Structure 1
Amino acid sequence: MNLGEVCIETNDVVKIADFYRNILGISSECKDEIHQFIITEGTALSVYNNGKAKNNQNENISLAFTVDDVDEEYKRLLNLGIHIIDTPQLQPWGAKNMHFCDPDGNHIYFRSLPKDV
């Protein structure tokens, strides 16, 4: 069994989809206000509005993206104006993580894994 998709439910699909494309360096002309795919290969990442109001206090959701160099991504995200909650820090298990949130309050981690993992 494989995880097929992670879907972020939101009140503003265009805003959240544009945010994720921006931080992930993905381009798209899609402006669908109901559903958009961000990542389609492997485990998909999508954004969806099911028509029900959300409180946008998604404090139980975390997404982690593995990147080649978290320090370089940190600099890039600062240039995009992203508010970083936790700057890149080496974790006890060997990963180096940084932490920020999307406009709806979902927690996002960019991490670099040790080269021997």
Structure 2
Amino acid sequence: MKLASLRIITENIEQSVQFYEKVMGVKAQWYTEDFAELKTSTITIAIGSTRTMKMFGSEHLTESKGATPTIIEFLVSNVDAEYERIKTLTNKIVQEPTTMPWGNRSLLFCDPDGNLINFFTPVSVEALQKFS
């Protein structure tokens, strides 16, 4: 089994796609007005409008009900430098760069829909070994 992508469902697809283009530094490929993908060598973030849920025969609730238990995580080379860039894109910073007990320096922020995003950089010897 291979994880193919992570899909975000949103009411405002244009806003979400523009946000992720800036955060990830890649241009989205639009397939329809309701579906786009942003690809890197290690992850594909798919973004669909809430209208796409009808194609699955579902009126599934897609509105965020507050904090979500899922965090989208990106390994970055310098989390402190990324913080300077990210804080110009959003005022939804949950945690400024902080060194976590497991050895990663972490920045936690939200996308326009409230989904949590973690940018992290390994800093401890153990974390550096894990991600090298």
* Structure 2 gap segments, 5+ residues each: none
Shift in CA distance, 73/56, structure 1 to aligned 2, threshold 3 Å = same
Query: Matched residues in 2 for 1:42 and 1:91: separation?
Result: 24
Query: 2:120 is aligned with what amino acid?
Result: R
Report the TM-score when normalising by structure 1: 0.84
Give the match for residue 44 of structure 2.
44
Report the TM-score when normalising by structure 2: 0.76
The structure whose RCO (Cα within 8 Å, separation 6+) is larger is 1
Larger Rg computed on CA atoms: 2
The root-mean-square deviation of aligned C-alpha atoms, in Å, is: 2.2
CA positional deviation for 1:81? 4.1
* Structure 1 gap segments, 5+ residues each: none
| Count of matched residue pairs | 117
Shift in CA distance, 94/73, structure 1 to aligned 2, threshold 3 Å = same
What fraction of aligned residue pairs are identical, expressed as a percent? 26
- The runs of at least 4 consecutive aligned structure 1 residues that moved more than 3 Å come to 28-32, 40-43
CA positional deviation for 1:43? 3.4
More helix, by proportion: 2
